[in-house]
Structure 1
Amino acid sequence: MDAYLIAIAIITAIYVLMALGLNLQYGLTGLVNFGVVGFFCVGAYTTAILSQKGVPQYITFPLAALLAMAFAWPLGLVSIRLREDYFAIVSLGFSEVVRLVATSEGWLTQGVQGIPGIPKMFGTFSGTTQALAVLGLLVVFNLVAIAAMLRIVRSPFGRMIEAIRDNEEAVKALGKDPAGFKIQVLVLGSALTGLAGAAYAHYIGFISPEQFIPLITFQIWMAIIMGGVGRISGALVGAIILMVFLEGSRFLRDVMPFISEVAMASVRLGVVGLALVLFTMYRPQGLMGDFTRK
């Protein structure tokens, strides 16, 4: 049971990193990014490919974040001036292109066969000790990310991106260029997502294109909506709530044994979807949102 709980905590910490990145992009700036899983995939494959060539992890992790940033920059240049709904479609298309490239370019990614044997983090340890070391590292990553976001929020840059979220036309009237700020935010948020992808690859030890489907993106969206859009604490709490629903629903078959294993996957998605609907109806500002608003 201890090993299971630690494993859940590790995946939760990876999701928190992605939720923090999306919260910076959407919660603080208003960027509707439906391509989260694309940057997650870039980070995972970057570290997996380099690790297979013998590059140490202390180099592959920052390179995974940097390459995710590199992918985000041209995407931002091309599409950031589009309306919010069009940018959402473009970002979703980007994530699918990344997944298709990972599937078709077998010379680089080994295609649908995936990349096995990715070195584990803290591979010199074993068992619970190794898992706790991984969890500790991810906690450090999250604490650093939270500290950086708090600093951003309290800075002139943070006030500017919040102004863009609230009234972009007013920002333009003041002579500022919202597009430049949006690109910077897209790049910074994507770095966190790429770092999360690197951590995921090294923790799981095997990646394939089927692991990077759009469902991951919408799970991260569920997390920040349930936790509270625009709240750093909301990204943390939302990811925990999401994981409670995802993992807790695994035990539904104990109370509903008449449902087959195959059908249970749909039931689990239904439970998570119902939770999101209920949050939207009765707590639209999220669990950590403004309690004075209804």
Structure 2
Amino acid sequence: MIQNLSGWVGYLIFLIISTAVFALFSLGLNLQWGFTGLINFGHVAFMTVGAYTTVLLTLHGVPLIVAALAGAGAAALLGLIIGLSTLRLRQDYLAIVTIGVSELLRLVVNNQDLPTGNGFTPGSFGVQGYPLPLASFDPTLLTRLGMIALLTFVVGVCYWRLGKWVKNRQGNTLPAQKQKQDKKSSLRLVLGILAAGLILVLYLAAAIALYNYTSYANAGLMLISVLVLALVFWRLEVLVRSPWGRVLKAIREDEDVATALGKNVFWYKLQALMLGGAIAGVSGALLAWQLTTIYPDNFQPQITFDAWTMVILGGAGNNVGTLLGAVIYWAYDAITRFALPAIFPLDEARLGAFRIMVIGLILMLLMLWRPQGILGKKEELTLGK
């Protein structure tokens, strides 16, 4: 019984880290596309740069935090280079250039020798043996309780935001609209209860892992991932509600209007591309620490389209929606990983393709039902404008 519980806690920790990493990655894409209207089909390039910069620097003795910040800076620099060459052109060119750059980077890393500290190693062999955060950390009981308290604070904020969303009501409505509003309130309540239950289960698993810290290798990384995600989400929420964020939305809706109001559209686009790239670079560092060994094939174009799936599912231009999209995506991944083999007797390769096909079907149905995503606003759709 205890062994089974330990296995489930370990798996839930893996899901928490994966969800946090890809939610962070998708937040960068949401800033670029959802808020600014920049179509980026090569977002994984920023993750690649962030991951490799971080691990290669740590192999040369650079502290982990400094290396991760350098990885974010290198990813932002890549955004600067791409932006300077494409943002004055039509958005189609940005989409083409970004997917080309992402594949170019992956192939270069795969075919070049990388400086790994003890000489050069072929990129196709992967990079391994790099330092990991809190790997040899052995916290005291007081420290473990402090870590649980930090996690509890983040979860408490989540419950507070969830409660505000469930209770959110519009002002005075007409009688004809009241019935529709009541249906929305009931749906919010049901979704809120489900979300609260899921958060509670994940919180309990995380608290168990932190309390029994030495029994779970990724407990420290889990806490770091959640805290980084919470910090980035908080600052992004502040930014997109600031005058800077309102300019980005104006550019997304109509560049000519923003230009007529005296805004430097090119400069704002460049800032959004660089900041979104930096966020993806941080997610690359977290992914590298989770994998413990990275190969070029870990950064396939599929990763970018996974992020697009998360943003579209949750709703473009909505940071909470992006987090929801990441949770739904990884919940789907976990459920189908166990359920589908029992229903469809397929080999592993075909089963993987079938799972991708099913999520594509889900997206098609969502586009028919709610093209703006679960939490998105229909008037803020940007794709196809």
**Same fold? TM cut 0.5:** yes
Q: Does residue 8 of the first structure (1) align with residue 5 of the second (2)?
A: no
The CA distance in 2 between the partners of 1:178 and 1:233, in whole Å, is: 26
1:115 alignment partner in structure 2? 127
1:203 alignment partner in structure 2? 290
Alignment check: 8 A CA contact 2:371 2:378 kept:
no
Q: Which consecutive segments of 4 or more residues in structure 1 shift more than 6 A?
A: none
Amino acid at match of 1:122: L
Alignment check: 8 A CA contact 1:249 1:271 kept:
no
Q: CA deviation at 1:136?
A: 1.3
1:40 match: secondary structure: helix
Alignment check: 8 A CA contact 1:52 1:118 kept:
yes
- 2:225 maps to which of 138, 148, 172: 138
1:169 alignment partner in structure 2? 256
Q: CA deviation at 1:127?
A: 4.8
Q: CA deviation at 1:262?
A: 2.3
Q: CA deviation at 1:276?
A: 1.3
1:31-50 counterparts in 2 under 5 A? 31-50=38-57
Closer, same or farther in 2 for the Cα pair 1:292/1:177, shift >3 Å? closer
1:178 alignment partner in structure 2? 265
2:128 match: secondary structure: coil
2:372 alignment partner in structure 1? 285
1:46-65 counterparts in 2 under 5 A? 46-65=53-72
1:152 alignment partner in structure 2? 239
Alignment check: 8 A CA contact 2:69 2:282 kept:
yes
The CA distance in 1 between the partners of 2:114 and 2:246, in whole Å, is: 46
Alignment check: 8 A CA contact 1:122 1:130 kept:
no
Q: CA deviation at 1:290?
A: 3.6
Q: CA deviation at 1:130?
A: 4.1
Kindly, what percent of the aligned residue pairs are identical?
38
Closer, same or farther in 2 for the Cα pair 1:261/1:183, shift >3 Å? same
Which segment drifts farther, 143-152 or 14-23?
143-152
Amino acid at match of 1:198: A
Amino acid at match of 2:228: F
Alignment check: 8 A CA contact 1:37 1:212 kept:
yes
Task: Count matched residues.
Answer: 294
Taking structure 2 as the reference length, what is the TM-score of the superposition?
Answer: 0.73
1:23-38 counterparts in 2 under 5 A? 23-38=30-45
Which segment drifts farther, 278-287 or 20-29?
278-287
The CA distance in 2 between the partners of 1:175 and 1:289, in whole Å, is: 29
Alignment check: 8 A CA contact 1:249 1:268 kept:
yes
Amino acid at match of 2:133: M
Q: CA RMSD in A?
A: 1.9
- 1:76 maps to which of 69, 78, 83: 83
- 1:92 maps to which of 90, 96, 99: 99
Taking structure 1 as the reference length, what is the TM-score of the superposition?
Answer: 0.95
The CA distance in 2 between the partners of 1:292 and 1:180, in whole Å, is: 25
The CA distance in 2 between the partners of 1:5 and 1:44, in whole Å, is: 24
Q: Does residue 256 of the first structure (1) align with residue 263 of the second (2)?
A: no
Closer, same or farther in 2 for the Cα pair 1:107/1:85, shift >3 Å? same
Q: CA deviation at 1:110?
A: 2.7
Alignment check: 8 A CA contact 1:231 1:289 kept:
yes
Q: CA deviation at 1:263?
A: 1.2
1:162-204: CA deviation from partner (whole Å, max 9, x where unpaired)? 0000111111222322111000010101111000001111121
Closer, same or farther in 2 for the Cα pair 1:167/1:51, shift >3 Å? same
Gaps of 5+ in 1: none
The CA distance in 2 between the partners of 1:18 and 1:97, in whole Å, is: 20
1:198-233: CA deviation from partner (whole Å, max 9, x where unpaired)? 111112110010110000000000000000100010
